[in-house]
Structure 1
Amino acid sequence: MASFNWMAAADAVVPAAGAQSAARPDTTMAITRGAARLLTDMGFALVPELTLPNGRRADLAGLSRKGRIVIVEVKSCREDFAADAKWPSYLEFCDQFYFATGTNFPASVLPAGEGRIIADAYGGAIVTDAAERSLSGARRKALTLRFARQAAFRLTP
């Protein structure tokens, strides 16, 4: 049985169509790749661009061995963050939420209580821990099934 390389998939993530013009695609791809490498090293299975039940797409979603769900929102610059008012709609679908940014991103603009990952194309580090949330059992099951189905559909030729 062939295995799917999530690292390669993370390398191939492209910003969603209609993304704000302030976003920097090369920077976004590098940050996404580094955050994906970090989460993979931490033991998470990843799905880039996971579609959530509310129709939003999480830049990166991770599922731990214990079934905990992490969502990472990638921000390439201050303008990218300022143009995005949708990130709070991700909070109800994860146990932890992180912003992934480059080293030059001003941390002071990020909301308190949310985690921060600093990343580049080669890796990343958690510099601010994310608040712990706890999904209900029913929501966790539904999200885990969604995660698995979206990952499986991407493997279908």
Structure 2
Amino acid sequence: MLQSDQDPLISVDGRQSEAAAAIQRGVCRTFRALGHAVVTELPLANGRRADVVGLSPSGDVLIVEIKSCLVDYRTDGKWHEYLDYCDRLYFGVASDFPCEVIPEAAGLILADRYGAELVREPAEERLNAARRKAMMLNFAHAAALRLQHQLDPGCGFKS
């Protein structure tokens, strides 16, 4: 049995800053208002973890990379590694972020803890069928484990 606090699909690592958490919350609220299901901190097959993964009603997979400040953006170049796992990649930033540094091909979302505004849609690169299926299974598995953890925090999970 693997305890829930040891499962990377449902645990919170606590490394996120307060600013990043506020941006993430606003992005998630807005995506849900648009009809998307969302999962945060989703581990990917390449070993990375996406800040926000959205699944649209039509099955599009969206990833949002949260950047709390310019230093965070400049010191963390792993966002390229998310492109193979989504149809569209966005950056989620606060309204005072210098948006001109965000690549033109990426989407741009301005957010605070209450909501977000989609400023720019990204270039779309459609996932192939096998990767889409793998992402949907990963998304569903993580969402189900997290729901079960909320319903029964004391239960263990099999690995």
Shorter-chain TM-score tier: 0.7 to 0.9
Q: Which has the larger radius of gyration?
A: 2
Shift of 1:16: 5.4
Q: Secondary structure at the match of 1:49?
A: strand
Query: How many pairs are equivalent?
Result: 139
Map of 1:125 onto structure 2? 117
TM-score (norm 1): 0.84
Find the partner of 1:104 among 92, 96, 110: 96
Runs of at least 4 residues off by over 3 Å:
13-17
Shift of 1:155: 2.2
How big is each residue's C-alpha offset from its partner over 1:45-71, in whole Å with a ceiling of 9 and x where there is no partner?
010001111010000001111111000
Q: Secondary structure at the match of 1:154?
A: helix
Find the partner of 1:58 among 50, 53, 64: 50
Any residues of structure 2 matched to 1:6-155 within 5 Å, and which? 17=15, 25-155=17-147
What is the distance in 2 between the residues matched to 1:103 and 1:27?
A: 12
What is the distance in 2 between the residues matched to 1:42 and 1:14?
A: 25
> Which amino acid is the alignment partner of residue 58 of structure 2?
K
How big is each residue's C-alpha offset from its partner over 1:122-149, in whole Å with a ceiling of 9 and x where there is no partner?
1001111111110111110111011101
Q: Is there any run of 5+ residues in structure 2 with no aligned partner, and where? A: 1-10, 153-159
Identity of aligned residues (%): 46
What is the distance in 1 between the residues matched to 2:133 and 2:20?
A: 30
Q: Is there any run of 5+ residues in structure 1 with no aligned partner, and where? A: 1-12, 20-24
TM-score (norm 2): 0.83
Instruction: Provide closer, same or farther for how the CA distance between residues 97 and 139 of structure 1 changes in structure 2, counting only shifts above 3 A.
Output: same
How big is each residue's C-alpha offset from its partner over 1:108-135, in whole Å with a ceiling of 9 and x where there is no partner?
1111210000000110011111111101
Shift of 1:15: 6.6
> Which amino acid is the alignment partner of residue 91 of structure 1?
L
